[in-house]
Structure 1
């Protein structure tokens, strides 16, 4: 075996091992992010009560803005890392929650509600986002706790086999593709909405500058 072949084999092994380690780390860290997402979202009443007792207006504004930024950033990061559930090779070869793609789709729907409606001012929008998050967390935590992490429990063997992706690929792939279509549809709707909003904002900015010269021309000259 030539030295170059040995070097290529070592490089390939490092790349494959690194990718597997990265995926395993993401999957292991996702429960923490899901928990933080739920805590920050459901902790809104506590934050509001704290703000009412805050006598310093500047401190209240800083506290509220920090809460909003952290809450939405954690939600966005959780969805970004949940894209691992849409990798066919990982779904087929790694022990992932069977309904993980559906949980990611519901997470995106909650994010879409936050982007399209004033969740912090509209109680109905807040409740809708809460429903999406709770359903997504249920679809994620259920298979994770009682299937992926319960392989040592013999009385959960049937549940574990069915709700683990690599042991039930025939069901995992349809769920993944259906959820992926839903993600594409929601993402496309958000893109079109953002595009239209940007066009309207640009039109409002350009209209006064275009109308003003015409108005100046219509003013009769003083004699």
Structure 2
């Protein structure tokens, strides 16, 4: 082999190895993100009880805003990292939980509910977000623990082969494409909703500018 061929082979091996390591790291770290997401979401009553005990208004505001920022930012990060479940080559070549795309879609539905409704003030919206998050976490935890991470367990061999993406490629790709269509529908609905809200806001501003100002009252004649 020529030195150029050796260099290209080493570079290709490093790139492929780095990509596989990155995917494996994300898949292994996502359970921690899902756990923190559930803890912060279900810990809302504790945060509210703590707020009632705060005697300083500024301290209560800082505590509540910090909680909201961490909770919603963690939701966004978890969904962003879950995007690997919508990459066909990665799904077919890597050992991923086969229901990962469904979990990502449910996470997006939870985010869409938060964006369209006041989940912190509406009890029904809060319960709906809770259902989406619990179902999504269950669909991720189950195959990840009992299929991907239990490959060495002979008594789980059938379950692992059925719920791991690279050993059940056909079903994994079908689930991925269906969930990708669902993500596109939810994203399109959010875009249309944001576009309509922006148009209504702009129309109100234009109408307020065009509205005639009230004339000052005439002075009374003595």
The number of equivalent residue pairs is 216
* Structure 1 equivalent of residue 17 of structure 2: 17
* Structure 2 equivalent of residue 121 of structure 1: 121
Q: Normalized against structure 1, the TM-score is what?
A: 0.92
State the Cα distance separating 1:5 from its structure 2 match: 3.6
> What does 1:144-163 correspond to in 2, within 5 Å?
144-163=144-163
Q: Which runs of 4+ in 1 moved over 6 A?
A: none
> What does 1:48-127 correspond to in 2, within 5 Å?
48-127=48-127
Quickly say closer, same or farther: Cα 1:56–1:3, change in 2 above 3 A.
same
Q: Normalized against structure 2, the TM-score is what?
A: 0.92
Deviations 1:21-72 (A, max 9, x none): 2212111111111011000000001100111111111100110011001100
Q: Which has the higher helix share?
A: 1
Find out whether 1:181 has 2:181 as its counterpart. Answer: yes
Quickly say closer, same or farther: Cα 1:13–1:152, change in 2 above 3 A.
closer
> What does 1:122-137 correspond to in 2, within 5 Å?
122-137=122-137
Root mean square deviation, CA, Å? 1.7
SS in 2 for 1:166: coil
Q: Which moved more, 1:7-16 or 1:144-153?
A: 7-16
Deviations 1:62-99 (A, max 9, x none): 10011001100000100010010111111111111010
SS in 1 for 2:54: coil
Q: Which runs of 5+ in 2 are unaligned?
A: 217-222
